[in-house]
A and B are shown apart, each in its own frame.
Chain A
Amino acid sequence: MSGSLAIRMRGVVKRYGAITAVDGLDLDVPIGTCVGLLGPNGAGKSTTMRLLTAQSIADEGELEVLSFRLPGESKAARAQCGVVPQLDNLDVTLTVQQNLLVFTHLYRIGRAERKDAIERALRMANLVERRDTRVDKLSGGMRRRLLIARALVHRPRLVLLDEPTVGLDPQVRQEIWALIDALRSEGSTILMSTHYIEEAQRLADTVIIMSHGRSVATGPPAELVMEHAGREALEVFGPPARLAEVEADAGAAGLRTRRTGTSISILGVDSNGYPIEGERRPANLEDVFVLLTGEEIA
Protein backbone atom coordinates (compact mmCIF):
# COMPACT_ATOMS: atom_id res chain seq x y z
CA MET A 1 0.00 0.00 0.00
CA SER A 2 2.27 2.75 1.22
CA GLY A 3 5.19 0.78 2.60
CA SER A 4 7.81 2.84 0.79
CA LEU A 5 6.26 6.18 1.67
CA ALA A 6 7.07 8.05 4.86
CA ILE A 7 4.25 10.50 4.25
CA ARG A 8 1.18 10.03 2.12
CA MET A 9 -1.50 12.71 1.86
CA ARG A 10 -4.51 12.45 -0.41
CA GLY A 11 -7.06 15.17 -1.00
CA VAL A 12 -6.35 16.82 2.33
CA VAL A 13 -8.44 19.88 3.10
CA LYS A 14 -8.08 22.17 6.10
CA ARG A 15 -10.32 25.17 6.58
CA TYR A 16 -10.19 27.92 9.16
CA GLY A 17 -13.58 29.56 8.98
CA ALA A 18 -13.89 31.05 5.52
CA ILE A 19 -10.22 30.50 4.72
CA THR A 20 -9.13 27.24 3.14
CA ALA A 21 -5.49 26.89 4.15
CA VAL A 22 -4.96 23.48 2.56
CA ASP A 23 -7.17 22.75 -0.41
CA GLY A 24 -7.06 19.19 -1.67
CA LEU A 25 -3.37 18.52 -1.16
CA ASP A 26 -1.74 15.33 -2.43
CA LEU A 27 1.77 14.80 -1.13
CA ASP A 28 4.17 11.85 -1.09
CA VAL A 29 7.47 11.63 0.73
CA PRO A 30 9.30 8.42 -0.22
CA ILE A 31 11.51 6.90 2.46
CA GLY A 32 15.13 8.02 2.25
CA THR A 33 14.48 11.22 0.33
CA CYS A 34 14.43 14.88 1.15
CA VAL A 35 11.31 16.61 -0.09
CA GLY A 36 11.08 20.39 -0.15
CA LEU A 37 7.74 22.09 0.20
CA LEU A 38 8.24 25.37 -1.58
CA GLY A 39 5.68 28.11 -1.67
CA PRO A 40 5.07 31.76 -0.90
CA ASN A 41 3.86 32.86 2.51
CA GLY A 42 0.28 31.80 3.01
CA ALA A 43 0.52 28.86 0.58
CA GLY A 44 -0.37 26.43 3.37
CA LYS A 45 3.08 25.04 4.19
CA SER A 46 2.92 25.58 7.93
CA THR A 47 -0.61 24.21 8.13
CA THR A 48 0.59 21.12 6.28
CA MET A 49 3.36 20.68 8.84
CA ARG A 50 0.86 21.02 11.71
CA LEU A 51 -1.42 18.46 10.08
CA LEU A 52 1.43 15.95 10.07
CA THR A 53 1.79 16.13 13.86
CA ALA A 54 -2.00 16.24 14.40
CA GLN A 55 -1.74 19.70 15.91
CA SER A 56 -4.23 20.54 13.19
CA ILE A 57 -6.94 18.06 12.27
CA ALA A 58 -7.85 17.82 8.58
CA ASP A 59 -11.45 18.43 7.55
CA GLU A 60 -11.19 16.03 4.62
CA GLY A 61 -8.76 13.60 3.03
CA GLU A 62 -6.35 10.87 4.08
CA LEU A 63 -3.08 11.33 5.93
CA GLU A 64 -0.54 8.65 6.69
CA VAL A 65 2.76 9.21 8.45
CA LEU A 66 5.14 6.22 8.59
CA SER A 67 2.03 4.21 7.64
CA PHE A 68 0.17 5.33 10.75
CA ARG A 69 -3.21 6.82 9.92
CA LEU A 70 -3.79 10.31 11.26
CA PRO A 71 -5.19 11.65 13.44
CA GLY A 72 -6.11 8.43 15.32
CA GLU A 73 -2.64 6.89 15.32
CA SER A 74 -0.75 10.15 15.43
CA LYS A 75 0.92 9.59 18.77
CA ALA A 76 2.62 6.42 17.54
CA ALA A 77 3.74 8.31 14.43
CA ARG A 78 5.04 11.26 16.44
CA ALA A 79 7.18 8.91 18.53
CA GLN A 80 9.19 8.22 15.37
CA CYS A 81 9.26 11.75 13.96
CA GLY A 82 11.53 14.64 14.81
CA VAL A 83 10.06 18.10 14.44
CA VAL A 84 12.03 21.31 14.02
CA PRO A 85 9.59 24.17 14.47
CA GLN A 86 9.76 27.44 12.61
CA LEU A 87 9.74 29.44 15.85
CA ASP A 88 12.35 28.67 18.47
CA ASN A 89 10.71 27.05 21.50
CA LEU A 90 13.73 25.98 23.51
CA ASP A 91 13.70 26.35 27.28
CA VAL A 92 15.92 29.41 27.49
CA THR A 93 16.82 29.24 31.17
CA LEU A 94 18.10 25.68 30.78
CA THR A 95 21.48 24.61 29.46
CA VAL A 96 22.01 22.97 26.10
CA GLN A 97 22.37 19.58 27.75
CA GLN A 98 19.27 20.03 29.93
CA ASN A 99 17.20 20.85 26.86
CA LEU A 100 18.34 17.64 25.24
CA LEU A 101 17.78 15.66 28.44
CA VAL A 102 14.14 16.79 28.61
CA PHE A 103 13.60 15.58 25.07
CA THR A 104 15.17 12.19 25.70
CA HIS A 105 12.35 11.76 28.23
CA LEU A 106 9.63 13.18 26.00
CA TYR A 107 10.74 10.79 23.27
CA ARG A 108 10.90 7.84 25.66
CA ILE A 109 14.55 6.95 25.33
CA GLY A 110 15.45 4.30 27.90
CA ARG A 111 17.65 5.20 30.85
CA ALA A 112 20.57 3.16 29.50
CA GLU A 113 20.68 5.00 26.17
CA ARG A 114 19.94 8.53 27.33
CA LYS A 115 23.53 9.60 27.86
CA ASP A 116 24.68 8.33 24.47
CA ALA A 117 21.74 9.96 22.75
CA ILE A 118 22.61 13.33 24.26
CA GLU A 119 26.29 12.99 23.33
CA ARG A 120 25.42 12.07 19.77
CA ALA A 121 23.07 15.04 19.43
CA LEU A 122 25.70 17.39 20.88
CA ARG A 123 28.29 16.15 18.39
CA MET A 124 25.92 16.38 15.46
CA ALA A 125 25.05 19.99 16.26
CA ASN A 126 28.68 20.79 17.07
CA LEU A 127 27.71 21.94 20.56
CA VAL A 128 29.86 19.63 22.68
CA GLU A 129 31.80 22.58 24.10
CA ARG A 130 28.59 24.42 24.85
CA ARG A 131 26.80 21.68 26.72
CA ASP A 132 26.66 23.66 29.96
CA THR A 133 25.80 27.01 28.41
CA ARG A 134 22.34 28.39 29.06
CA VAL A 135 20.29 28.73 25.89
CA ASP A 136 19.76 32.48 26.34
CA LYS A 137 23.55 32.87 26.11
CA LEU A 138 23.81 31.11 22.74
CA SER A 139 24.08 32.80 19.36
CA GLY A 140 21.19 32.54 16.91
CA GLY A 141 22.98 29.90 14.87
CA MET A 142 23.77 27.76 17.90
CA ARG A 143 20.14 27.93 19.02
CA ARG A 144 19.01 26.76 15.59
CA ARG A 145 21.48 23.90 15.65
CA LEU A 146 20.27 22.92 19.10
CA LEU A 147 16.68 23.05 17.89
CA ILE A 148 17.60 20.60 15.14
CA ALA A 149 19.67 18.38 17.45
CA ARG A 150 16.78 18.26 19.89
CA ALA A 151 14.56 16.85 17.15
CA LEU A 152 17.11 14.11 16.45
CA VAL A 153 17.87 12.73 19.93
CA HIS A 154 15.66 9.69 19.40
CA ARG A 155 16.95 8.89 15.88
CA PRO A 156 13.64 9.64 14.18
CA ARG A 157 12.69 7.84 10.99
CA LEU A 158 11.23 11.04 9.61
CA VAL A 159 12.35 14.63 10.18
CA LEU A 160 9.98 17.56 9.66
CA LEU A 161 11.71 20.90 9.20
CA ASP A 162 9.48 23.96 9.11
CA GLU A 163 11.33 26.88 7.49
CA PRO A 164 14.66 25.80 9.01
CA THR A 165 16.61 28.94 8.11
CA VAL A 166 14.00 31.67 8.17
CA GLY A 167 15.37 34.93 9.52
CA LEU A 168 19.00 33.75 9.78
CA ASP A 169 22.18 35.44 8.57
CA PRO A 170 23.68 34.02 5.36
CA GLN A 171 26.64 32.56 7.32
CA VAL A 172 24.35 30.80 9.74
CA ARG A 173 22.18 29.58 6.91
CA GLN A 174 25.23 27.83 5.42
CA GLU A 175 25.83 26.08 8.74
CA ILE A 176 22.26 24.84 8.90
CA TRP A 177 22.38 23.69 5.29
CA ALA A 178 25.53 21.71 6.04
CA LEU A 179 23.75 20.07 8.97
CA ILE A 180 20.70 19.17 6.90
CA ASP A 181 22.90 17.92 4.09
CA ALA A 182 24.73 15.66 6.57
CA LEU A 183 21.37 14.24 7.61
CA ARG A 184 20.47 13.61 3.99
CA SER A 185 23.68 11.80 3.30
CA GLU A 186 22.94 9.49 6.24
CA GLY A 187 19.77 8.51 4.38
CA SER A 188 17.28 10.30 6.65
CA THR A 189 13.82 11.00 5.34
CA ILE A 190 13.10 14.70 5.47
CA LEU A 191 10.18 16.96 4.69
CA MET A 192 11.24 20.58 4.71
CA SER A 193 9.07 23.59 4.12
CA THR A 194 10.74 26.72 2.86
CA HIS A 195 10.11 29.85 0.88
CA TYR A 196 13.77 30.17 -0.01
CA ILE A 197 14.25 28.88 -3.51
CA GLU A 198 17.97 28.31 -3.12
CA GLU A 199 17.34 26.19 -0.05
CA ALA A 200 14.95 23.92 -1.89
CA GLN A 201 17.23 23.74 -4.92
CA ARG A 202 20.27 22.75 -2.88
CA LEU A 203 18.77 20.36 -0.38
CA ALA A 204 15.69 18.74 -1.84
CA ASP A 205 15.65 15.63 -4.02
CA THR A 206 12.09 16.47 -4.90
CA VAL A 207 10.42 19.85 -4.74
CA ILE A 208 6.70 20.32 -4.36
CA ILE A 209 5.59 23.80 -5.28
CA MET A 210 2.55 24.85 -3.27
CA SER A 211 0.18 27.63 -4.05
CA HIS A 212 -3.15 28.44 -2.42
CA GLY A 213 -3.17 25.24 -0.40
CA ARG A 214 -2.46 22.78 -3.17
CA SER A 215 0.48 21.30 -4.98
CA VAL A 216 0.98 22.88 -8.41
CA ALA A 217 4.14 21.03 -9.50
CA THR A 218 6.26 18.16 -8.23
CA GLY A 219 9.64 16.88 -9.31
CA PRO A 220 13.40 17.08 -8.92
CA PRO A 221 14.44 20.76 -9.10
CA ALA A 222 16.28 20.41 -12.43
CA GLU A 223 13.36 18.63 -14.08
CA LEU A 224 10.91 21.23 -12.85
CA VAL A 225 13.05 23.93 -14.38
CA MET A 226 13.29 22.11 -17.73
CA GLU A 227 9.61 21.34 -17.81
CA HIS A 228 8.23 24.72 -16.86
CA ALA A 229 10.90 27.28 -17.74
CA GLY A 230 13.03 25.58 -20.38
CA ARG A 231 16.79 25.66 -20.55
CA GLU A 232 17.50 29.33 -20.89
CA ALA A 233 15.95 32.66 -20.21
CA LEU A 234 16.63 35.98 -21.85
CA GLU A 235 16.79 38.82 -19.39
CA VAL A 236 16.16 42.26 -20.84
CA PHE A 237 16.95 45.45 -18.97
CA GLY A 238 15.55 48.86 -19.69
CA PRO A 239 13.21 51.62 -18.58
CA PRO A 240 9.67 50.57 -17.58
CA ALA A 241 8.10 51.62 -20.89
CA ARG A 242 10.61 49.51 -22.82
CA LEU A 243 10.01 46.53 -20.52
CA ALA A 244 6.27 46.74 -21.09
CA GLU A 245 6.89 46.72 -24.82
CA VAL A 246 9.19 43.68 -24.59
CA GLU A 247 6.61 41.93 -22.46
CA ALA A 248 3.86 42.57 -25.00
CA ASP A 249 6.02 41.40 -27.92
CA ALA A 250 7.04 38.21 -26.16
CA GLY A 251 3.42 37.53 -25.25
CA ALA A 252 2.43 37.99 -28.88
CA ALA A 253 5.17 35.54 -29.88
CA GLY A 254 3.67 32.99 -27.49
CA LEU A 255 6.51 33.14 -24.98
CA ARG A 256 6.13 33.39 -21.25
CA THR A 257 7.70 36.23 -19.33
CA ARG A 258 8.19 37.25 -15.79
CA ARG A 259 9.18 40.47 -14.16
CA THR A 260 12.51 40.26 -12.37
CA GLY A 261 12.40 43.56 -10.53
CA THR A 262 14.50 45.80 -12.75
CA SER A 263 14.30 43.59 -15.81
CA ILE A 264 12.04 41.23 -17.63
CA SER A 265 12.85 37.58 -18.26
CA ILE A 266 11.63 35.87 -21.38
CA LEU A 267 11.44 32.13 -20.83
CA GLY A 268 11.80 29.26 -23.27
CA VAL A 269 14.09 31.06 -25.71
CA ASP A 270 16.40 28.03 -25.98
CA SER A 271 16.33 27.19 -29.66
CA ASN A 272 14.86 30.06 -31.60
CA GLY A 273 17.01 33.11 -31.93
CA TYR A 274 14.81 35.68 -30.29
CA PRO A 275 15.38 39.05 -31.98
CA ILE A 276 15.97 41.12 -28.87
CA GLU A 277 19.20 42.06 -27.13
CA GLY A 278 19.57 40.82 -23.60
CA GLU A 279 21.50 38.60 -21.26
CA ARG A 280 21.06 34.91 -21.74
CA ARG A 281 21.12 32.95 -18.51
CA PRO A 282 20.14 29.42 -17.47
CA ALA A 283 16.53 29.17 -16.37
CA ASN A 284 16.19 28.51 -12.65
CA LEU A 285 13.78 27.35 -10.01
CA GLU A 286 12.84 30.91 -9.21
CA ASP A 287 11.46 31.27 -12.74
CA VAL A 288 9.33 28.19 -12.19
CA PHE A 289 8.26 29.39 -8.77
CA VAL A 290 7.09 32.76 -10.03
CA LEU A 291 5.43 31.28 -13.11
CA LEU A 292 3.46 28.81 -11.05
CA THR A 293 2.64 30.78 -7.94
CA GLY A 294 1.98 34.10 -9.64
CA GLU A 295 3.77 37.42 -9.67
CA GLU A 296 1.42 39.16 -7.29
CA ILE A 297 2.20 38.85 -3.64
CA ALA A 298 -0.95 38.07 -1.75
Chain B
Amino acid sequence: MAVTTAAPRRLGRLERPALTGVLVREVVNFSSFWRSSTFSSTVEPTIYLLAFGFGFGSLVSKIGGYDYVQFVGTGTVATAVLFSSAFPAMFGTFVKYKFQRTYDAILAAPVDTEELVTAEALWIATRAGVYGCVPMLVAIAFGLDPAWGMLTVPLVAWIAGFGWACFGIMVAGFASSFENFNYVVSAVLTPLFLVAGTFFPLSRLPEWAQVLGEINPLHQCVELVRHAAFGFDGWTDLARVGALVAFGLVLWRIAIYAMERKLVD
Protein backbone atom coordinates (compact mmCIF):
# COMPACT_ATOMS: atom_id res chain seq x y z
CA MET B 1 0.00 0.00 0.00
CA ALA B 2 1.22 3.46 -0.88
CA VAL B 3 2.35 5.75 1.90
CA THR B 4 -0.56 8.03 2.57
CA THR B 5 0.80 10.43 5.13
CA ALA B 6 0.97 13.13 2.49
CA ALA B 7 -2.68 12.73 1.50
CA PRO B 8 -4.68 15.88 2.15
CA ARG B 9 -7.18 15.49 4.97
CA ARG B 10 -9.97 17.31 3.29
CA LEU B 11 -10.34 17.06 -0.47
CA GLY B 12 -11.60 20.00 -2.50
CA ARG B 13 -14.99 20.54 -4.06
CA LEU B 14 -15.64 19.87 -7.75
CA GLU B 15 -12.40 17.96 -8.23
CA ARG B 16 -11.49 17.05 -11.74
CA PRO B 17 -10.78 13.35 -11.04
CA ALA B 18 -14.25 12.98 -9.52
CA LEU B 19 -15.93 14.64 -12.50
CA THR B 20 -13.85 12.53 -14.88
CA GLY B 21 -14.81 9.35 -13.06
CA VAL B 22 -18.53 10.02 -13.44
CA LEU B 23 -18.09 11.15 -17.05
CA VAL B 24 -16.12 8.01 -17.94
CA ARG B 25 -18.97 5.93 -16.58
CA GLU B 26 -21.43 7.79 -18.79
CA VAL B 27 -19.24 7.56 -21.87
CA VAL B 28 -18.64 3.83 -21.43
CA ASN B 29 -22.36 3.25 -20.87
CA PHE B 30 -23.20 5.42 -23.85
CA SER B 31 -21.16 3.07 -26.03
CA SER B 32 -23.74 0.39 -25.25
CA PHE B 33 -26.90 2.38 -26.04
CA TRP B 34 -25.89 5.25 -28.31
CA ARG B 35 -27.97 3.94 -31.18
CA SER B 36 -31.34 4.13 -29.47
CA SER B 37 -30.49 7.37 -27.73
CA THR B 38 -29.30 9.02 -30.93
CA PHE B 39 -32.34 7.74 -32.75
CA SER B 40 -34.88 9.18 -30.32
CA SER B 41 -33.05 12.46 -29.85
CA THR B 42 -32.74 13.18 -33.53
CA VAL B 43 -35.68 11.51 -35.23
CA GLU B 44 -38.32 13.16 -33.08
CA PRO B 45 -37.41 16.79 -33.78
CA THR B 46 -36.86 15.91 -37.38
CA ILE B 47 -40.40 14.60 -37.58
CA TYR B 48 -41.66 17.84 -36.04
CA LEU B 49 -39.61 19.76 -38.53
CA LEU B 50 -40.95 17.85 -41.50
CA ALA B 51 -44.55 17.65 -40.28
CA PHE B 52 -44.81 21.31 -39.34
CA GLY B 53 -42.48 22.57 -42.02
CA PHE B 54 -44.36 20.93 -44.86
CA GLY B 55 -47.77 20.67 -43.22
CA PHE B 56 -48.09 24.25 -42.06
CA GLY B 57 -45.63 25.35 -44.69
CA SER B 58 -48.26 24.64 -47.34
CA LEU B 59 -50.64 27.07 -45.59
CA VAL B 60 -48.14 29.67 -44.42
CA SER B 61 -45.29 30.29 -46.77
CA LYS B 62 -43.54 33.07 -44.86
CA ILE B 63 -43.25 34.09 -41.23
CA GLY B 64 -41.37 37.19 -40.12
CA GLY B 65 -39.69 37.28 -43.50
CA TYR B 66 -38.41 33.69 -43.37
CA ASP B 67 -39.54 30.67 -45.31
CA TYR B 68 -41.64 28.62 -42.92
CA VAL B 69 -39.42 25.53 -43.28
CA GLN B 70 -36.42 27.65 -42.33
CA PHE B 71 -38.34 29.19 -39.44
CA VAL B 72 -39.24 25.80 -38.06
CA GLY B 73 -35.87 24.25 -38.97
CA THR B 74 -34.04 26.71 -36.75
CA GLY B 75 -36.73 26.60 -34.07
CA THR B 76 -36.68 22.82 -33.65
CA VAL B 77 -33.03 22.98 -32.60
CA ALA B 78 -34.42 24.03 -29.22
CA THR B 79 -36.86 21.12 -29.34
CA ALA B 80 -34.01 18.71 -29.97
CA VAL B 81 -32.08 20.25 -27.09
CA LEU B 82 -35.06 19.86 -24.76
CA PHE B 83 -35.72 16.28 -25.81
CA SER B 84 -32.10 15.27 -25.43
CA SER B 85 -31.55 16.99 -22.09
CA ALA B 86 -34.58 17.49 -19.83
CA PHE B 87 -36.13 14.10 -20.59
CA PRO B 88 -33.04 11.89 -20.29
CA ALA B 89 -32.02 13.83 -17.19
CA MET B 90 -35.39 13.28 -15.54
CA PHE B 91 -35.78 9.62 -16.37
CA GLY B 92 -32.10 8.68 -16.33
CA THR B 93 -31.49 10.22 -12.94
CA PHE B 94 -34.52 8.56 -11.43
CA VAL B 95 -33.63 5.15 -12.85
CA LYS B 96 -30.01 5.40 -11.75
CA TYR B 97 -31.07 6.48 -8.28
CA LYS B 98 -33.99 4.22 -7.67
CA PHE B 99 -33.71 1.12 -9.79
CA GLN B 100 -30.06 0.68 -10.70
CA ARG B 101 -28.76 2.24 -7.45
CA THR B 102 -25.84 3.53 -9.48
CA TYR B 103 -25.55 6.64 -7.35
CA ASP B 104 -25.01 4.55 -4.23
CA ALA B 105 -21.99 3.02 -5.91
CA ILE B 106 -20.64 6.36 -7.10
CA LEU B 107 -21.10 8.12 -3.77
CA ALA B 108 -19.27 5.32 -1.98
CA ALA B 109 -16.27 6.31 -4.13
CA PRO B 110 -14.50 9.65 -3.56
CA VAL B 111 -17.25 11.59 -5.36
CA ASP B 112 -19.66 14.00 -3.69
CA THR B 113 -23.23 14.73 -4.77
CA GLU B 114 -22.19 18.11 -6.10
CA GLU B 115 -19.63 16.48 -8.38
CA LEU B 116 -22.01 13.73 -9.40
CA VAL B 117 -24.76 16.17 -10.43
CA THR B 118 -22.29 18.46 -12.20
CA ALA B 119 -20.71 15.67 -14.21
CA GLU B 120 -24.09 14.23 -15.19
CA ALA B 121 -25.27 17.67 -16.36
CA LEU B 122 -22.05 18.29 -18.29
CA TRP B 123 -22.43 15.01 -20.09
CA ILE B 124 -26.07 15.55 -21.00
CA ALA B 125 -25.26 19.11 -22.12
CA THR B 126 -22.60 17.75 -24.44
CA ARG B 127 -25.03 15.31 -25.97
CA ALA B 128 -27.60 18.08 -26.36
CA GLY B 129 -24.95 20.26 -28.01
CA VAL B 130 -24.45 17.58 -30.66
CA TYR B 131 -28.04 16.38 -31.08
CA GLY B 132 -29.30 19.97 -31.14
CA CYS B 133 -27.56 20.54 -34.45
CA VAL B 134 -29.43 17.75 -36.22
CA PRO B 135 -32.63 19.67 -37.13
CA MET B 136 -30.52 22.49 -38.48
CA LEU B 137 -28.56 20.08 -40.65
CA VAL B 138 -31.83 18.59 -41.88
CA ALA B 139 -33.11 22.10 -42.63
CA ILE B 140 -29.92 22.81 -44.57
CA ALA B 141 -30.63 19.70 -46.61
CA PHE B 142 -34.06 21.23 -47.33
CA GLY B 143 -32.66 24.53 -48.49
CA LEU B 144 -31.65 26.57 -45.42
CA ASP B 145 -28.57 28.58 -46.38
CA PRO B 146 -25.48 27.78 -44.30
CA ALA B 147 -24.11 30.78 -42.39
CA TRP B 148 -20.96 31.32 -40.33
CA GLY B 149 -23.09 32.22 -37.34
CA MET B 150 -24.35 28.62 -37.29
CA LEU B 151 -21.00 27.57 -35.85
CA THR B 152 -22.20 29.02 -32.53
CA VAL B 153 -25.24 26.70 -32.50
CA PRO B 154 -23.49 23.78 -30.74
CA LEU B 155 -22.42 26.18 -28.00
CA VAL B 156 -25.89 27.66 -27.63
CA ALA B 157 -27.35 24.15 -27.56
CA TRP B 158 -24.75 23.14 -24.97
CA ILE B 159 -25.56 26.04 -22.64
CA ALA B 160 -29.31 25.49 -22.97
CA GLY B 161 -28.79 21.73 -22.63
CA PHE B 162 -26.90 22.21 -19.38
CA GLY B 163 -29.78 24.21 -17.92
CA TRP B 164 -32.41 21.71 -19.02
CA ALA B 165 -30.30 18.81 -17.80
CA CYS B 166 -30.15 20.45 -14.38
CA PHE B 167 -33.89 21.03 -14.60
CA GLY B 168 -34.45 17.31 -15.26
CA ILE B 169 -32.10 16.25 -12.45
CA MET B 170 -33.87 18.66 -10.10
CA VAL B 171 -37.27 17.20 -11.01
CA ALA B 172 -35.96 13.68 -10.45
CA GLY B 173 -34.50 14.84 -7.15
CA PHE B 174 -37.80 16.17 -5.88
CA ALA B 175 -39.97 13.41 -7.39
CA SER B 176 -40.96 10.52 -5.22
CA SER B 177 -42.20 8.36 -8.10
CA PHE B 178 -42.25 8.19 -11.88
CA GLU B 179 -45.87 9.38 -11.87
CA ASN B 180 -44.76 12.79 -10.61
CA PHE B 181 -43.13 13.39 -13.97
CA ASN B 182 -46.54 13.57 -15.65
CA TYR B 183 -47.28 16.82 -13.82
CA VAL B 184 -43.99 18.33 -14.88
CA VAL B 185 -44.35 17.27 -18.49
CA SER B 186 -47.97 18.45 -18.79
CA ALA B 187 -47.81 21.58 -16.69
CA VAL B 188 -44.29 22.82 -17.38
CA LEU B 189 -42.55 21.29 -20.35
CA THR B 190 -45.41 21.12 -22.84
CA PRO B 191 -46.50 24.78 -22.37
CA LEU B 192 -42.89 25.97 -22.49
CA PHE B 193 -42.33 23.88 -25.58
CA LEU B 194 -45.36 25.43 -27.29
CA VAL B 195 -44.73 29.07 -26.34
CA ALA B 196 -41.09 29.09 -27.30
CA GLY B 197 -41.57 30.57 -30.74
CA THR B 198 -40.62 27.31 -32.39
CA PHE B 199 -43.64 26.82 -34.61
CA PHE B 200 -45.19 30.31 -34.58
CA PRO B 201 -43.86 33.70 -33.53
CA LEU B 202 -44.78 34.89 -30.05
CA SER B 203 -45.82 38.29 -31.43
CA ARG B 204 -49.21 36.85 -32.42
CA LEU B 205 -49.97 35.63 -28.90
CA PRO B 206 -51.84 37.56 -26.16
CA GLU B 207 -49.60 39.81 -24.11
CA TRP B 208 -49.45 37.56 -21.04
CA ALA B 209 -48.27 34.69 -23.20
CA GLN B 210 -45.64 36.91 -24.76
CA VAL B 211 -44.32 37.83 -21.31
CA LEU B 212 -44.32 34.15 -20.39
CA GLY B 213 -42.47 33.44 -23.62
CA GLU B 214 -39.80 36.00 -22.89
CA ILE B 215 -38.90 34.31 -19.60
CA ASN B 216 -38.92 30.89 -21.24
CA PRO B 217 -35.33 29.65 -21.61
CA LEU B 218 -36.43 27.57 -24.56
CA HIS B 219 -37.47 30.77 -26.31
CA GLN B 220 -34.02 32.30 -25.73
CA CYS B 221 -32.52 29.24 -27.33
CA VAL B 222 -34.92 29.42 -30.32
CA GLU B 223 -34.12 33.10 -30.90
CA LEU B 224 -30.37 32.62 -30.60
CA VAL B 225 -30.33 29.75 -33.08
CA ARG B 226 -32.54 31.65 -35.51
CA HIS B 227 -30.25 34.65 -35.28
CA ALA B 228 -27.22 32.41 -35.71
CA ALA B 229 -28.69 31.42 -39.06
CA PHE B 230 -30.13 34.77 -40.16
CA GLY B 231 -28.00 37.39 -38.39
CA PHE B 232 -27.37 38.30 -34.76
CA ASP B 233 -29.12 41.06 -32.90
CA GLY B 234 -26.19 42.51 -30.91
CA TRP B 235 -26.86 43.29 -27.26
CA THR B 236 -30.25 41.61 -27.20
CA ASP B 237 -28.71 38.29 -28.15
CA LEU B 238 -25.93 38.76 -25.65
CA ALA B 239 -28.60 39.30 -23.00
CA ARG B 240 -30.25 36.09 -24.16
CA VAL B 241 -26.98 34.21 -23.70
CA GLY B 242 -26.73 35.78 -20.25
CA ALA B 243 -30.26 34.62 -19.46
CA LEU B 244 -29.45 31.04 -20.55
CA VAL B 245 -26.27 31.02 -18.47
CA ALA B 246 -28.19 32.33 -15.45
CA PHE B 247 -30.89 29.70 -16.00
CA GLY B 248 -28.20 27.02 -16.06
CA LEU B 249 -26.41 28.25 -12.95
CA VAL B 250 -29.55 28.61 -10.84
CA LEU B 251 -30.94 25.22 -11.86
CA TRP B 252 -27.51 23.66 -11.31
CA ARG B 253 -27.49 24.71 -7.65
CA ILE B 254 -31.12 23.65 -7.13
CA ALA B 255 -30.43 20.27 -8.75
CA ILE B 256 -27.51 19.73 -6.36
CA TYR B 257 -29.67 20.68 -3.41
CA ALA B 258 -32.47 18.34 -4.53
CA MET B 259 -30.13 15.41 -5.06
CA GLU B 260 -28.28 15.94 -1.79
CA ARG B 261 -31.59 15.74 0.01
CA LYS B 262 -32.37 12.56 -1.83
CA LEU B 263 -29.01 10.77 -1.71
CA VAL B 264 -27.63 11.73 1.69
CA ASP B 265 -29.86 11.26 4.71
Does B187 reach chain A (CB closer than 8 Å)? no
- A residues 40-92 near B (Cβ < 8 Å) are 50, 53-57, 68, 72-73, 75-76, 78-81, 83, 85, 87, 89, 91-92
B32-A106 in contact (CB<8A): no
A89-B10 in contact (CB<8A): no
- A residues 91-114 near B (Cβ < 8 Å) are 91-94, 98, 101-103, 105-108
A106-B106 in contact (CB<8A): yes
Does A157 reach chain B (CB closer than 8 Å)? yes
CB neighbours of A106 from chain B (8 A): 18, 21-22, 24-25, 106, 109-111
A75-B101 in contact (CB<8A): no
Minimum CB–CB distance from A77 to chain B (whole Å) comes to: 9
A105-B24 in contact (CB<8A): yes
Given known A73-B9, A89-B105, contact A57–B110 (CB-CB < 8 A): no
A79-B101 in contact (CB<8A): no
Distance A94 CA – B263 CA, assembled complex (angstroms): 24
A102-B28 in contact (CB<8A): yes
B10-A76 in contact (CB<8A): yes
Which size bracket describes the interface of B in this complex? 20 to 34
CB neighbours of B28 from chain A (8 A): 91, 94, 98, 101-102
CB neighbours of B9 from chain A (8 A): 68, 73, 76
Q: Per a CB cutoff under 8 Å, which of A55, A68, A83 touches B263?
A: A55
A57-B264 in contact (CB<8A): yes
**A-B pairs with CB below 8 Å: how many?**
97
B8-A83 in contact (CB<8A): no
Does B265 reach chain A (CB closer than 8 Å)? yes
Q: Per a CB cutoff under 8 Å, which of B22, B104, B109 touches A78?
A: B109
Which size bracket describes the interface of A in this complex? 20 to 34
Q: Per a CB cutoff under 8 Å, which of B4, B25, B33 touches A80?
A: B4
A79-B100 in contact (CB<8A): no
Q: Per a CB cutoff under 8 Å, which of B17, B20, B101 touches A85?
A: B101
CB neighbours of A91 from chain B (8 A): 25, 28-29, 100, 102
Does A155 reach chain B (CB closer than 8 Å)? yes
Distance A76 CA – B111 CA, assembled complex (angstroms): 10
B110-A55 in contact (CB<8A): no
CB neighbours of B108 from chain A (8 A): 53, 55, 78, 81, 83, 85
B110-A108 in contact (CB<8A): yes
A55-B105 in contact (CB<8A): no
Q: Per a CB cutoff under 8 Å, which of B21, B32, B101 touches A94?
A: B32
Does B107 reach chain A (CB closer than 8 Å)? yes
Minimum CB–CB distance from A46 to chain B (whole Å) comes to: 11
CB neighbours of A75 from chain B (8 A): 10-11, 110-112
B33-A79 in contact (CB<8A): no
**Closest 10 A/B residue pairs (Cβ):** A106-B21, A83-B108, A89-B101, A79-B110, A106-B109, A105-B24, A105-B21, A93-B32, A75-B11, A89-B105
Cβ contacts A to B, 20 pairs, < 8 Å: A55-B263, A57-B265, A73-B9, A73-B10, A75-B110, A75-B111, A76-B110, A78-B110, A79-B11, A83-B108, A87-B101, A89-B105, A91-B100, A93-B29, A94-B28, A102-B21, A102-B24, A105-B17, A107-B110, A157-B4
7 extra A-B contacts, CB within 8 A, seeds A55-B265, A80-B4, A107-B109 = A75-B10, A78-B110, A91-B102, A101-B24, A107-B21, A107-B110, A108-B21
Residues of chain B having any CB pair with chain A under 8 Å: 1, 4, 7-11, 17-18, 20-22, 24-25, 28-29, 32-33, 100-102, 104-112, 263-265
